[in-house]
Structure 1
Amino acid sequence: MTDSDEAAGDPQAAIDAQGERRREDLDDRIFEHSAGDHQEGIPFVGAGPGNPRLLTVAGKELLEEADLVVHAGSLVNSEVLEAYCAHAELVNSVGKDLEELIPLMRDAYEDGQNVVRLHSGDPAIYGAALEQMDALEHEGIPTYLVPGVTSAFAASATLRTQLTLNELANHVAFTRPQGKTLTPEEDHVSEFVGMGDVTTCLYLGTHAVRETMDRLLADGHDPDLPVAVVYHASWPDEDVILGTIETIADRVEEAGYRASALVIVGEAVTGSGYERSYLYGDWANRGPDSDG
C-alpha cells in the first residue's frame, strides 16, 4: 500500500504525507502566485475581524462568486454572510471534523461548484487552515490562502494607537495563554511582557485574563502596565475595557466576557511616551552630501 492509498479518506495521514512532501520540495505555486491573485482551487479566505467593510476586495469578490461557503460559525459576523453570501449555500463548520468537512468541500468542487472556506480574522493567526488544505491537496483539490485583517489590527485601530511605537514598543508578539492546547512550558506571555518594549497581543485568552494577570504579577511585572481588552473588535457590539495588569481582571469579569476578546498588554495601549520617528525628522531631510 502506498502513502497515497493510506492517506485517502484519512485526513491525518494526508497531513503527514503533505508535510513530508514539503520537506522534500517547495510547491511551484509559491513562485507563480502572490497573495491576492485569483488562483485555481478552493480559497481559504480570512473574513476579517467582524465589520463587513474590513473584508478584503479579494475576499469579497470570491464570496460573491461562491456557490458554497463553509464558514466558521459565530466567529464570522453574520453581517458578512448576509452582505456577500446570500446567494450561496452556507455550511457552518462548527461541530464538524475533518472527516466530514473534507469530503463536503471536495465533492462540491469536483461537481463544478465555486467553493469558499471562510475563516475568521486571518487564517494565518491561530487558524486551522493548513490541515484542511493539506487534506484537500492530497486528494487532488488545489487550495490557496486569501489574507484577512486580524483582530489585533482592528483592536489597535479602535484604540487609536499603533502596536509598534518608536522607543516604546519595538516588537509585537501574537501569542496565547496556557490552557487545554498549550502547556505551561509553552506559555511565554510573561517573557514577552518582561522584554519591556513588546506589545503582547493575547488571542484565545479572554477566559484566562485573571489567571494570566495573576501570573504576571507573581513574576514581578509592573502592576500599572496598561492593558486593553477589546471585545468583538469592529463588530456592532464592540466593547473596550481599559485597565492595568492589576485591575483588568476585575473589569473583564464585571463585564462578563469569557470569549471573543483580544487582550493587549504594553505601553502601546495608551501610546504615551513614544519618541518621534526618524522617518519624518532629520533623517528624512538628509541631503546627498550629509554624513552617514
Structure 2
Amino acid sequence: MTGSIDADTDTDTPDRTPEYSPGDDRRGIPFVGAGPGDPRLLTVAGRELLEDADLVVHAGSLVNSELLEAYCDHAELVNSVGKDLEELIPLMADAYEDGRNVVRLHSGDPAIYGAALEQMDALEHVDVPSYFVPGVTSAFAASATLRTQLTLNEVANHVAFTRPQGKTLSEDEDHISEFVGMGDVTTCIYLGTHAVRETMDRLLEDGHDPETPVAVVYHASWPDEDVIVGSIGDIADRVEEAGYRASALVVIGDAVTGAGYERSYLYGDWANRGSSGRSAENTSEPEASDD
C-alpha cells in the first residue's frame, strides 16, 4: 500500500473541487448507493459498476441479498459490518492497487447517513481516488409506497432528513420537534425505529397535535415491506404491536395522507384532487413535477 492511516487523517481537508459529473466514467473506487432494497431500484451506473467488479465491500444485511445475487455473484464479497477504517482501507486500497475493480456498496444513498466521506478521505490519504455514485434513498421509496409526494403545494414546502437523539445525536441536536412545529415540513426520520415511542412522547410533551399523520414504512421496497399509518398519538403503539425495532423510515406530516393540497400552476384546469383525496374520475396523471 502507498501509505497508512494515522490519527491526523481526519484533520486533513482534501480538495473537493468537482472535476466530473455524477455518471461519468472515472478512475478510482466508486461508493455506490445500492438503493432502498429492490434490486431494480439500483441505478444503471451502479449496476454496471457491480457487474464489472472483482471485489464488492458491502453493508451487510442493509443491502438486499437478492441484489448481491443478481449483480455480484461473480465477485468476491466482503461484509463491512464490524470492520473499522484500519481494516477496510487497506483491504480496498490493496485490491485497487493490484488492478482489481473495487466497489464500496452502501445501502440507500451513501450521502445520507452513510459514513462514506471518512472512508473516502482515508483512501485519499493513501493516494487512492474514490467517488460517489448516487442511489435511491429510503425516503423516496417510502414516498412511492405511500403514493404521495414529500412536497405538496400548500401542504409541505420543505423536507427534513433527520434522526432522533441518542448515542450519535445529543438532545440539543435533535430538531425533530422544530421541524414538525413548522407545519409545512415533511419530516423523514432515519435510524429511529427503536425510538418511535420516545420521539412521539417528546412531540406530545412539546404540544404538537396528536392527530398529526405519521407513517412508518418498514423495509421500503423489500419483499417483506410493511406500512403502518397512524398519528403522533398512536403510532408508537402500532409499531410496538408490529414488533419493529429497526430498518423503518418514519414520516411525519400532512403530506403522508396525500390530501388537502392546492392545484399547482403547471396544469391549468387539471382537476384538483385536494382534500377529497384521489378522485376516481382522474384516469391519467401529469408527468411533470412542480420543481
Tell me which residue corresponds to 1:198.
185
User: Which residue number in structure 2 is paired with residue 43 of structure 1?
Assistant: 30
Aligned to 2:110: 123
Residue number among 5, 9, 13 corresponding to 2:4 in the alignment: 9
Shift of 1:13: 2.0
Cα separation, 2, equivalents of 1:91 and 1:178: 31
Q: How does 1:239-258 map to 2 (within 5 A)?
A: 239-258=226-245
Tell me which of 166, 190, 194 is aligned to 1:207: 194
Secondary structure of 1:106's aligned partner: helix
Retained in 2: the 8 A contact 1:49–1:121?
A: yes
Give the counterpart of 2:246 among 236, 259, 281.
Answer: 259
Q: Distance in 1 between matches of 2:62 and 2:258?
A: 29
Shift of 1:120: 0.2
Structure 2 counterparts to residues 143-222 of structure 1, below 5 A: 143-222=130-209
Cα offset, 1:172, TM superposition = 0.2
Whether the 8 Å CA contact 2:5–2:125 is kept in 1: the answer is no
CA deviations on 1:16-53 (whole Å, 9 max, x unpaired) are 22x2x44xxx43xx0x3101111100000000000000
Shift of 1:12: 4.3
3-state SS of 1:241 partner = strand
Counterparts of 1:262-281 in structure 2 under 5 Å?
Answer: 262-281=249-268
Equivalent residue number for residue 139 of structure 1: 126
1:281 deviates by 2.3
Alpha-carbon contact 1:241-1:252 (below 8 Å) kept: yes
- Asked if the contact 1:169/1:198 (under 8 Å) is kept, the reply is yes
What is the alpha-carbon distance in structure 1 between the residues aligned to residue 47 and residue 8 of structure 2?
33
Given that residues 11 and 99 in structure 1 are in contact (C-alpha distance below 8 angstroms), is that contact kept between their aligned partners in structure 2? no
Structure 2 counterpart of 1:249, one-letter code: A
Q: What is the deviation of 1:184?
A: 0.3
Structure-1 separation of matches of 2:35 and 2:27: 22
The whole-number CA distance in structure 2 between the counterparts of 1:239 and 1:61 is: 30
| 2:59 aligned with 1:59 | no
Question: Matched residues in 1 for 2:6 and 2:122: separation?
Answer: 5
Q: CA RMSD for the aligned pairs?
A: 1.2
How many residues in Structure 1 have an aligned counterpart in Structure 2? 268
The AA in structure 1 aligned to 2:109 is D
CA drift at 1:11: 5.2
Provide Cα deviations, 1:127-185, integer angstroms capped at 9, x if missing partner.
11100000001111010000000000000000000000000000000000000000000
Specify the code of the residue in structure 1 equivalent to 2:155: L
Q: How many Å separate the matches in 2 of 1:280 and 1:102?
A: 51
SS of equivalent to 2:249: strand
1:271 is displaced (CA, Å) by: 1.1
Residues 202-229 of structure 1 show CA distances to partners (whole Å, capped at 9, x for unaligned) of: 0000000000000000000010000000
User: Matched residues in 1 for 2:268 and 2:23: separation?
Assistant: 34
Shift of 1:280: 1.3
Query: Identity over aligned residues, as a percent?
Result: 81
Alpha carbons of structure 1 residues 11 and 257: separation in structure 2 relative to 1, 3 Å: farther
Deviations 1:195-252 (A, max 9, x none): 0000000000000000000000000001000000000000000000000000000000
- Cα separation, partners in 2 of 1:103 and 1:274, compared to 1, 3 Å: same
In 2: Cα distance, 1:14 partner to 1:180 partner: 23
- Contact 1:227–1:263 (Cα < 8 Å) also in 2: yes
Give the superposition deviation at 1:189.
0.0
Query: Unaligned stretches of 5+ in structure 2?
Result: 270-291
